[in-house]
Structure 1
Amino acid sequence: MAVVDVGRDPVVFDPFSEEFYRDPQGCYPRLRAEAPVYYNATYDFYALSRHADVAAGLKDFATYSSAYGVDLGMVRRGEKVPAKMIISIDPPEHRAMRSLVNKVFTPRAIEALRTMVTDTVTRFLSAVRGDSFDVVQDFSVYFPVDVITQMLGVPEKYRQQVRLWIDESLHREPGQIDMSEAGMQAMAETWLMYYDLIKQRRADPRDDMISALIAAEVEREDGTVDRLKDSEIAGFATLLGGAGAETVTKLVGSAVVTFARHPEQWQQLLDDRGKIGVAIEELLRYDAPVQYNVRRSNHPVTLHGVTIPAGAPVFLLGASANRDPDAWTAPDVFDINRDRTEAQNLGFGYGIHSCLGAALARLESSIALDMLLDFMPRYGVEWDGCRRVSMQNVSGWANVPVRIL
């Protein structure tokens, strides 16, 4: 591990440790203060933790490439990802693909989904019985994946299976870097399901996203215009299904935990539902579902006296940046009324790879939070039953049992 001699134990950032999964924020203050460019000799990667550096890194695709993958296992192999997803390509190829999918996520298009999202959230919350339930396992695991797979055109019988496949592919035991065999099998099953669906939609188009992607034209790097390949559409679907399932699930669970610790701010939402939007932004800053993004350095770069060599995996720690005292006033204080103009909130990323579905995630989260305010205006968390996930990139709660008071 990196050694920083300040008269105490060296600062350690191990994103594959049980300690990190249990408390990801625990190591960030020392990283920012003592090792803003951190080197982990065990896993051979670098990490940037200060807001200024992370925000700049997320925007600087010429220095920090996405083309080698999105996690350490992929990036350190040093090979460009053969199965192209929008998160694993750089400009200029990225621009055409991003502009294509952006059309699906315009503010008008997202607002048109409000009724469908509301109906979906209502359906799953209505299935909750009794005064005690698990907010995550009985509610928030279900509706986000149902929403995004409905948009894609996935038949109902496969929608929750998509979630299980995603969970398997992202799960990591402490010390595990690469995807497990079960995770790879889950990814293969996901792709096969989408391949079959794409073939069906080519023969029989419907009013869904996969049919729209089949019909869309895209301009390639050489200026030619053609249609997306089946593999590219499957890549889009796999990415959107995964991101759409995980982020909102974790955000809702974190919301219930955080507001239980700050009941006076829950009361503010009860008194004024107009604050739900800013509450979601503060939740994204304070306890974002995505802890980091991994990039590969295209050339040597020197920061804070440390040179990151070309070809190195680099962790851009957005969750640390969002608690940086140089960017935010009292960053470790949860405050839905804070001045959000102080710094860029990196909860949904930044730059060309910022979250495609951010507007959809905000819509889903706001509807879910509004319904939970009605469903459990007074509640208590059963803290002994709370469990965190151990996943690649993603942080949050696997279990949040509550009792309605």
Structure 2
Amino acid sequence: MVFDPFSEQHFNDPYDTYRRLRDEAPVYYSEKYDFYALTRHEDVAPAFKDFETFSSSRGVTLEEIQSGQHAHQPSIIWMDPPEHRRMRSLVNKVFTPRAIGKQEQVIRERITHHLAAADPDNFDVVADFSALFPVEVITTMLGVPESRRQDVRIWLELALQRPAGRSTMDKAGLQAMMDTGVLYYEIIQQRREQPADDMISALCAVEVQRDDGTATRLDDVEIAGFCTLLGAAGAETVAKLLGTAAVVFGRHPDQWQQLRADRSKIPAAVEELLRYEGPVQYDCRYTLKDVERHGVTIPAGSAVLLVGAAANRDERAFTNAEQFDINRDRTEAQNLAFGYGIHSCLGAALARSESTIALDHLLDFMPHYVVEVDKLQRVAMTSVNGYSSVPVRVVAGN
């Protein structure tokens, strides 16, 4: 029983391994990488919420925890309460439902733009569509100039890339993170001089309560950290989810036709896609105390992978968990695709909105299609699974 999250096998299809882990090794230890992994829903969901045991303060990737260094600017993703609570409440002031709702026009405009330029006879769902528009939406919200928006996506892909067998970021990835930070720093300086109607300007204006009781503005590094986090989540999640959606519905054309017949099912379909094959595979935590699960003790000071993607396929939590079903009962168990607890994804509502609108448009653009399976290309990234290329042929149908 070997679980290697940096292997070719994992990038191509981790779900058989996840099933074996749940059944045979619900608390798994990797000697190669020195981490523990939890895969059952009953273990992963509570661990996401138990920040007093499973801490984010040392990082949220294996590389960060084991090196003791963050490759990015400081951000709430690497904080525990009470610091996290203060910073989360602050960003909630600018990343509001109203602010997200205002982006619907931008979402529809960018989706329409890219589909209008696409060739239905030679269409790559990822390269021609889903990789392009989500980053434009989130960077528009942030205030990134139009000419630099795709740079954010390209740099992020470089930072996340992990060729099979490599668990750490290479020089190109480190440079990409530096370039991202420089871009946001430059925009922050401009907004301090001349505010605009965007999130960076709002972050420059808000105040946060510090540990000593004083209220101060965020500094440049803190704002850049927020931007890096939001830009990354906003660019990657929907890009990978929609590529996967095309592949999954290609295998289940009857359910694609159900969506065509009843568009009100699209939000439920998004939830099932997130559960069945969501982009984020796992989050890493650092144990602050000994933890015992299933007769195994995880020592304090250990790196633990909370494998949400495995928990979302746990037959102990979901009926017929290994089956894709857009009509599934959503009340059975918590969907962990966007995390759970205090570190649940800030951009989840935006990602759901983008995915719902995009599927609605794709149903019209490719009402009947065939995936060119032999041309599919998987990504090799840390904690993220999905496709870099999903070529399809739009075919005639009723």
- TM (normalized to structure 2)? 0.97
The aligned counterpart of 2:146 is: 156
Does residue 272 (structure 1) correspond to residue 262 (structure 2)? The answer is yes
Offset at 1:137?
0.5
State which of 76, 89, 102 in structure 2 corresponds to 1:99.
Answer: 89
- Answer yes or no: is the 8 Å Cα contact 1:54–1:316 preserved in 2: yes
Residues 21, 388 of structure 1: 8 Å contact kept: yes
Is 2:201 aligned against 1:211? yes
**Distance in 1 (alpha carbons) for counterparts of 2:119 and 2:296:** 56
Is 1:66 the counterpart of 2:52? The answer is no
Contact kept in structure 2, 1:165 and 1:187, CA below 8 Å? yes
Do the aligned partners of 2:161 and 2:380 also contact (CA within 8 Å) in 1?
A: yes
Match of 1:242 in 2: 232
- Asked if residue 391 in structure 1 is aligned to residue 381 in structure 2, the reply is yes
Separation in structure 1 between the aligned mates of residue 47 and residue 266 of structure 2, nearest angstrom: 30
Following the alignment from structure 1 to structure 2, what is the Cα–Cα distance between the partners of residues 174 and 117? 34
**Contact 2:65/2:286 (CA < 8 Å) preserved in 1?**
yes
Q: How many residues align?
A: 395
Shift, 1:80, TM fit: 7.6
User: Could you tell me which residue of structure 1 aligns to residue 66 of structure 2?
Assistant: 76
Find the counterpart in structure 2 of residue 299 from structure 1. 289
Task: Give, in whole Å, the separation in 2 of the partners of 1:382 and 1:81.
Answer: 37
Cα distance change, pair 163–230 in 1 and its aligned pair in 2 (3 A): same
Report 1:193-204 matches (<5 A): 193-204=183-194
Indicate how the Cα distance of structure 1 residues 205 and 341 shifts in structure 2: closer, same or farther if over 3 A, else same.
same
Distance in 1 of aligned mates of 2:52 and 2:35: 19
The DSSP-based 3-state class of the residue aligned with 1:344 is coil
Runs of 4+ in 1 over 2 A off after TM superposition: 77-83, 103-109
Query: Which ranges of structure 1 fall in alignment gaps of 5 or more residues?
Result: 1-10
2:194 & 2:329 partners in 1: Cα distance? 50
SS of 1:76's equivalent? Answer: helix
Cα distance change, pair 265–307 in 1 and its aligned pair in 2 (3 A): same
Amino acid at match of 1:163: R
Name the CA distance, whole Å, in 2 between partners of 1:238 and 1:59: 24
For the residues of structure 1 that align with 2:68 and 2:189, how far apart are their CA atoms? Answer: 33
2:123 aligned partner: 133
CA distance in 2, matches of 1:273, 1:320: 29
Cα distance in structure 2, aligned partners of 1:321 and 1:278 = 19
Are 1:68 and 1:81, in contact at CA under 8 Å, matched by a contact in 2? no
SS of the equivalent of 1:254 reads: helix
Does structure 2 conserve the Cα–Cα contact (< 8 Å) formed by 1:67 and 1:89? yes
Distance 1:108 1:83, change over 3 A: closer
Residue of structure 2 equivalent to 1:341: 331
1:85 Cα deviation from its structure 2 partner: 1.1
C-alpha deviations, 1:98-122, integer Å up to 9, x for none?
1111233333332222111111111
Question: Aligned Cα RMSD in Å?
Answer: 1.2
Q: 1:354-400: per-residue Cα shift (whole Å, max 9, x none)? A: 00000000010011000000111011100011011000111111110
Structure 2 residue aligned with 1:45: 35
Distance 2:214 2:69 in 1: 26
AA paired with 2:249?
A: F
Give 1:41's aligned amino acid.
Answer: E
Moved more, 350-359 or 65-74: 65-74
TM-score normalised by the chain length of structure 1: 0.96
* 1:285 and 2:306 aligned: no
**In the alignment, which residue of structure 1 is the partner of 2:312?**
322
Alignment of 1:251-266 (within 5 A): 251-266=241-256
Shift of the 226–348 alpha-carbon distance from structure 1 to 2, 3 Å rule, reads same
Partner residue in 2 for 1:173: 163
Q: Give yes or no for contact 1:69–1:81 (8 Å, CA) kept in 2.
A: no
Q: How many Å separate the matches in 1 of 2:69 and 2:359?
A: 42
Where structure 2 has 5 or more consecutive residues not aligned to the other structure, the ranges are: none
Question: Displacement of 1:81 after TM fit?
Answer: 8.1
Q: What amino acid is the match of 1:219?
A: Q
Matched residue, 1:226: 216
Instruction: Report % sequence identity.
Output: 61
> Quick one: which amino acid aligns to residue 207 of structure 2?
E
Residue 308 of structure 1 aligns with an amino acid whose one-letter code is I
CA apart distance, 1:130: 4.1
